[in-house]
Amino acid sequence: MIHRDPAVQNLIDRESIRDALYRYCRGIDRCDVETLKSAYWPEAVDNHVFYNGNAWEFAEWVVPLLRGRDQTMHMITNAMIEIEGETANVESQYVGYERVRSAKRGLSDMFAGGRYLDRMEKRGDEWRILHRDVVWAWFRVEEDSADWSRGLFGKQVPFGGRDMDDPLYTKLGFKPGTINI
């Protein structure tokens, strides 16, 4: 292990923690189980409102559910990170969007916001989530407001994919579950 100035190591640790948070969003939005799992330790727990249990099993459960959505976008912001040795408590805010199809409502846009309360652990040089609690702040469902088949202002625009055909994989060559530390 390399010994660094404590202030420099603190910055490196914070960036590694943010990377785990962002891998979570990438895994969710690309329906990439391996990338999603890479945000958690194998024994991690995720208390995710409708699911409470092992986080890797959560990944296996949620990805097929999200594949039924046309689009999703999850964003994490305002990450407050308190590091104590090899553990960290992290509070971050999230906003999530999902375009939902249902027999009852047809197309709708679902928005949610809240916080992730994460206990993270460092093993070697890597930080991952060990325990997550999701706290909702607000939730909204709106009737569909756009004909996506027409594109933006009547012009076809490229949309990202929900699988390995997404430009992340085809143009940038990203490999599922890869961690660049």
pLDDT tens-digit map of 40-80: 999 999 999 889 999 999 999 999 999 988 889 999 999 99
Instruction: Tell me the mean pLDDT in the region 92-106.
Output: 89
- Are the beta carbons of 109 and 144 closer than 8 angstroms? yes
CA distance 62 to 55: 10
**What is the Rg, in whole angstroms, of the alpha carbon atoms belonging to the chain?**
18
CA distance 97 to 89: 26
CA distance 125 to 83: 14
SS3 17: helix
Look at residue 125 in the predicted model and tell me its pLDDT: 92
Amino acid at 162: R
Q: Up-side HSE of residue 88: CA atoms within 13 Å toward CB?
A: 25
Look at residue 145 in the predicted model and tell me its pLDDT: 65
Look at residue 110 in the predicted model and tell me its pLDDT: 92
CA distance 61 to 49: 13
**Least confident among 10-14, 90-94, 127-131, 142-146:** 142-146
Question: Helix count (H) and strand count (E) of the chain?
Answer: 4, 6
Look at residue 151 in the predicted model and tell me its pLDDT: 64
| Token pair listed for 178 | 């890869």
Task: Please state the pTM of the whole predicted model.
Answer: 0.88
Look at residue 55 in the predicted model and tell me its pLDDT: 98
Look at residue 180 and tell me whether its pLDDT is greater than 60: no
Look at residue 12 and tell me whether its pLDDT is greater than 50: yes
| Token pair listed for 131 | 């325990």
- Are the beta carbons of 138 and 153 closer than 8 angstroms? no
Task: For each of the domains in the chain, give its residue range(s) and CATH number, in order of start.
Answer: 6-170 (3.10.450.50)
**Strands 40-47, 106-123: parallel, antiparallel or unpaired by DSSP?**
unpaired
What are the pLDDT digits (tens) for 111-168?
Answer: 999 999 999 999 999 999 999 999 999 999 988 766 666 666 666 666 677 777 777 7
- Residue 108 CA to its chain's centroid (Å): 21
